[in-house]
Amino acid sequence: MGDVIWMGLLYCSYFLTVAANGFFLYRLCIPFVRPRRGRLGRALLFLTLAGTSGMVIWIGDPNMLYTLPVFFALFFLATQGDRVGRLTVCMILFCLEMSVCALLDTYVERISGDALYDVLVRMARPLVFGPLWLLLRRRLPREPVVLSRRMWKLVLGLAAMPLCALIAVVLLTFRKYGSAEVNTLAMNQGVVVLPFVLLTSLVLLLAILTLADHERLEQADRLAGLREVYYQGLRQQETQVRRLRHDLRNHLTAVRGLLEAGKTSEALGYLDQITGSPALRGTRRLCENEAANAVLTAKAEAMEREGIAADFAVSLPAELPVADMDLCALLGNALDNAIEGSQGKADRRITVRCKTDKGLFMLRVENTLGGEVKPDLATTKSDKAVHGFGIPGMREIAERYGGTLDAGVREGRFELVVCLPVQRDGC
């Protein structure tokens, strides 16, 4: 009877420690990836992290390699968003988790012996994963980090190094039980490599947070620049209105003189000049949302300067459950691509339709084609660091909000359509 109770306590402690591991790893994971909508996605992600943390992993044990494809498959099923970003975070978390498990499973036995081995190993894992989460907790954002595809690819390349080191520990010592020399080599190699893998994984997570902060500041700077252009235009219009008011008495005197002299046609021409003044056109207002209006008015003025016929029909509320930087990135890049795509066409025309209706944000931009469209829809500008955001970056934003982006040539025109769910309870 005592043995049954003891086994029951061991199983209970096992499941409790595995659940604790899953909790800490899940809290460490969600600032970097977005679980799929609903409880099923969150539960699958939690079970994936918790289940793999409970496996027995030794240096030279192929269990690590068997776990790799299962971990990646379940991780992708449980998350959504940019594929490169998810792959990067998956690799980093796998290296972090397996390095901790391999260190504990391999070296605790040498310290404690067989009697306390199983208990100490199970208790030690949450005592490691917990402090790791607490170490990064203050730096972790509430919402999943956002990186451009270019930055995710950079971090992915760096994340391949600890993964290769982790795999090498298994492959190079796979037959460690065959000889004492190989076994000693494996133990010494693990002492060096596994802490390196763990430290590198933590550094990569911090690097992602730093890069995300940097990109957020860059986007905020671009948004501030657009707003500055918008407000400069407002100030210029205000100056023109003041000048017109100051000269209005003189204008009326001139018109009256022409009418008294019987020069009706000259008076009408003079009035046409006054009514054509930019000061009388009024402040341009394309929608109620300040951030969107700043971008749209700046791009509308750019279209006017290039002689592009623009047709705007935008209806956006003052408040949207879409970040201003994401909203401005979508609108700004869609219009930049349309302006660029219409170059070379004599009759350049751009049509913009944007509204929110029934819980959806919908954007459609059409432009006449001035040249051949690349199959990958990449920018044709030489400075891709500035103008290379384009379709891939916009698609990443759409996927992050659980929406879609469709772009292509239809009936001789290029059309881009973005649809995002904007229900407040789902954002």
For 211-263, what is each residue's pLDDT tens digit?
988 887 877 776 666 666 656 665 666 676 667 666 676 777 777 777 777 77
Antiparallel, parallel or unpaired: β 309-315 and 349-357: parallel
Residue 403 pLDDT? 87
CB 29 within 8 A of CB 141: no
285-427 CATH: 3.30.565.10
Helix/strand/coil (H/E/C) assignment for every residue in 186-201: HHHHHHHHHHHHHHHH
For 64-114, what is each residue's pLDDT tens digit?
788 899 999 999 999 988 889 999 999 999 999 998 988 888 777 655 445
**CA 67 from chain center: how many Å?**
28
**CA 417 from chain center: how many Å?**
19
Sign of the Cα pseudo-torsion (87, 74, 168, 106, in order): positive
Low-confidence ranges of the chain (pLDDT < 50): 112-113, 115, 375-376, 379-388, 424-427
Q: Is 83 exposed, middle or buried (0-12, 13-18, 19+ CB in 10 A)?
A: middle
Residue with the two structure tokens 């901790």: 100
Residue 384 pLDDT? 39
Cα distance between residue 92 and residue 248, in whole Å = 69
What pTM did the predictor assign? 0.65
Residue 386 pLDDT? 36
Cα distance between residue 131 and residue 198, in whole Å = 13
Domain with CATH 3.30.565.10 in the chain: 285-427
Q: Which of 280, 273, 241 is nearest to 255 (CA)?
A: 273
Q: Which of 283, 410, 403 is nearest to 351 (CA)?
A: 410
Residue 74 pLDDT? 94
CB 403 within 8 A of CB 418: yes
